């Protein structure tokens, strides 16, 4: 058979083989989902499914015929796992979507008599995971392992994890890679492990976007970005985190960190130093707002020997504490340091005297004690930022409102109205965009930063309706 006819024949066979199957709780889910073909749609009816063996899902969908495993419309689907592993493994797959399921641990999850986890994605591309719940689990909720690309993980809730991370991506020795992926608009809370992170990007992860996530009540640290192995930067933007026992963000790899809110931490706000592989360079930390951290809001180590490092237009408000620290010889004029507004003790100024702007503390915000860090009418932050290209001013702010390119405000917000027109920080998903008035054009939670180092892959993710009710522990 000619090659073209053979290819067309395979395409027709794939279309003919596509199946639409509806499962119910009494079905053998493992068997019925073990063989997946392009165009398959597996729909879970409402109810509770007992998962006693890991579900291994593998299939090569296409852009035109994706494989979809989803909850029925409006249905609450609970997968109760007694598996001492992630409950679901997606491996060696492409164009596969999982939507609307909630994974919880079976009885004994909290005591550790069983150790269920959530989801593992391995050696796959173009995988979408959305509207999912991962709660009441013993081990790491989400694990990206192997070589992955174009993974979209959005609008999911992770909570009540005893002994693991929220999201762990990669391999510690950079032997595997996750790239060109999006982790956005997720809710991560109540992680009890005193050594676990909310989100951890290991060595080798590159060109990923971590955006508009909300993290709180974390018993260790919020987020870590490790080495990209000289690949394009990871982008960390528009995230909010608080109630972190240790530090908020640990920046040890090439990255663009902007428009984030970090407050109420037990240690540092943003901590940055060389990574174990000696590859840190080109880290841009700009327009973040940091408040009420027990130790320094920003801690810098070893920048004097690094290239392309930028600390610009950030705000730290620690009126009775420490705002900034860089030890002797740790930072110098070779780094771009400009437009940062600091309230609190600043240590390590020499030879950077004049690069920091004194702030007014809580008076710079509308209501700091009420978690509203929008600039007040008398705020020092208004117009204080450095507009130069070297400062990498984002095109939008934390709300997705347009920034004033000629005279931008310092910190995560651009003051365009008398009150905050965006999402009020609270325990729940971040609501994107400007919610009231006409003070600034809302262009979404991402950026159109024309000055960005290594322009990121374009991700277009619609604002998803929060249709599912998450199962929460009382």
CATH of the domain at 72: 2.160.20
At 3, is the secondary structure helix, strand, or coil?
helix
User: Do the domain assignments include residue 474?
Assistant: no
State pTM to two decimals: 0.89
3-state secondary structure of 72: coil
- 259 in a structural domain: no
Domain co-membership, 284 together with 387: yes
- Kindly state whether residue 1 falls inside one of the protein's structural domains: no
What is the share, in percent, of the chain residues with pLDDT greater than 90?
A: 82
Find the range with the poorest average confidence among 106-115, 204-213, 244-253, 448-457: 448-457
Q: Are residues 199 and 291 in the same domain?
A: no
**Looking at 184, 205, 226, which one is the last position of a domain?**
205
Task: Write phi, then psi, for 391 (nearest 5 degrees).
Answer: -85, -10
Task: Tell me the CA distances in angstroms from 229 to 212, 234, 278, one per residue in order.
Answer: 25, 11, 9
Same domain, 200 and 282: no
* 307 & 426 share domain: yes
Instruction: Take residue 366 and report the two structure tokens written for it.
Output: 């509308």
Are 393 and 308 in the same domain?
yes
Q: Are residues 300 and 169 in the same domain?
A: no
- Separation between Cα atoms, residue 233 and residue 49, nearest integer Å: 41
Tell me whether residue 192 is in a domain: yes
Beta partners for residue 159, in sequence order: 135, 189
In a domain, 222, yes or no: no
49 and 175 fall within a common domain? yes
The answer to whether 468 touches 76, Cβ cutoff 8 Å, is yes
Specify the DSSP class assigned to residue 215. E
**Which residues are within 8 A (CB) of 388 and not within 5 positions of it... i.e. 6 or more apart?**
338
Does 201 share its domain with 287? no
Same domain, 162 and 292: no
The residues facing 178 across adjacent strands are 148
Is residue 187 within 8 A of residue 157, CB to CB? The reply is: yes
Compute the mean pLDDT over every residue in the chain, rounded to the nearest whole number.
89
Whether residue 74 lies inside any domain: the answer is: yes
H or E element in which residue 250 lies: strand 249-251
Strands (E), 277-433: 283-286, 289-293, 298-300, 310-312, 315-326, 336-338, 340-347, 356-358, 365-367, 372-375
Q: Report pLDDT for 350.
A: 60
Whether residue 310 is contained in a domain is answered as yes
| Spatial CB neighbours of 454, under 8 Å, sequence gap ≥ 6 | 207, 232, 233
The answer to whether residues 85 and 197 belong to one domain is yes
Confidence of residue 23 (pLDDT cuts 50, 70, 90): very high
The secondary structure of the chain in percent helix, strand, coil, rounded to multiples of 5, reads 5, 40, 55
273 domain residue, yes or no: no
For the chain, what is the domain count? 2
Average pLDDT rounded to a whole number, residues 73-94: 98
Q: Which domain holds residue 137?
A: 30-205
Do 184 and 40 lie in one domain? The reply is yes
Strand partners, 315: 289, 341
**What is the per-residue pLDDT across 214-242, written as a single tens digit (0 to 9) for each?**
999 999 999 999 999 999 999 999 999 99
- 209 pLDDT band, cuts 50/70/90, is very high
111 contact partners, CB below 8 Å, separation of at least 6: none
Whether 59 shows a pLDDT value over 60: the answer reads yes
Residue where one domain finishes, among candidates 205, 223, 246: 205
d(CA 375, CA 440): 15
* Final residue of a structural domain among 185, 205, 225: 205
Q: Please give the DSSP secondary-structure letter assigned to residue 350.
A: T
Residue with tokens 């690094």: 306
Q: Is the same domain home to 160 and 78?
A: yes
């Amino acid at each position: 058979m000619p090659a073209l006819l053979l290819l067309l024949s395979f395409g027709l066979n794939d279309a003919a083989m596509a199946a639409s199957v509806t499962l119910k709780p009494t079905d053998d889910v493992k068997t019925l989902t073990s063989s997946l073909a392009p165009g398959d749609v597996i729909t879970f009816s409402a109810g509770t499914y007992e998962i006693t063996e890991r579900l291994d899902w593998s299939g090569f969908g296409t852009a035109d015929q994706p494989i979809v495993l989803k909850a029925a419309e409006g249905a609450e689907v609970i997968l109760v796992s007694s598996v001492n592993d992630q409950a679901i493994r997606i491996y060696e797959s492409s164009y596969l979507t999982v939507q609307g399921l909630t994974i919880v641990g079976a009885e004994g999850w909290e005591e550790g008599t069983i150790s269920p986890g959530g989801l593992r994605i391995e050696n796959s591309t173009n995988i979408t995971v959305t509207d999912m719940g991962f709660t009441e689990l013993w081990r790491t909720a989400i694990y990206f392992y192997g070589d992955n690309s174009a993974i979209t993980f959005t609008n999911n809730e992770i909570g009540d994890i005893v002994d693991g991370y929220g999201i762990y991506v990669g391999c510690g020795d950079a032997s595997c890679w996750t790239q060109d992926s999006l982790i956005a608009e997720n809710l991560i809370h109540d992680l009890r492990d005193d050594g676990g992170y909310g989100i951890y990007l290991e060595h080798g992860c590159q060109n990923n976007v971590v955006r508009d996530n909300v993290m709180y009540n974390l018993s260790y640290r919020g987020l870590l970005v490790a080495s990209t192995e000289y690949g394009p930067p990871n982008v960390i933007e528009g995230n909010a985190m608080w109630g972190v026992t240790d530090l908020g963000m640990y920046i040890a790899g090439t990255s663009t960190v902007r428009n984030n809110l970090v407050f109420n931490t037990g240690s540092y706000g943003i901590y940055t130093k060389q990574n174990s592989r000696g590859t840190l360079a080109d880290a841009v930390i700009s327009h973040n707002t940091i408040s009420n951290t027990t130790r320094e809001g920003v801690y810098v180590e070893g920048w004097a020997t690094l290239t392309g490092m930028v600390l610009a237009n950030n705000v730290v408000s620690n009126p009775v504490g420490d705002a900034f620290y860089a030890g002797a010889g740790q930072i110098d004029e070779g780094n771009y340091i400009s437009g940062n507004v600091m309230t609190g003790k600043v240590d390590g100024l020499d030879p950077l005297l004049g690069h920091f702007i004194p702030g007014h503390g809580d008076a710079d915000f509308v209501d700091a004690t009420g978690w509203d860090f929008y600039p007040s009418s008398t705020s020092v932050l208004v117009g204080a930022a450095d507009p130069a290209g070297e400062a990498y001013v984002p095109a939008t702010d934390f709300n997705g409102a347009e920034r004033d390119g000629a005279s931008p405000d310092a910190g995560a917000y651009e003051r365009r109205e008398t009150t905050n027109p965006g999402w009020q920080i609270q325990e729940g998903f971040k609501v994107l965009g400007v919610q009231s008035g006409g003070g600034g054009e809302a262009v979404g939670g991402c950026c159109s930063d024309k000055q960005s180092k290594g322009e990121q892959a374009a991700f277009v993710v619609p604002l998803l309706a929060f249709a599912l009710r998450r199962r929460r522990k009382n």
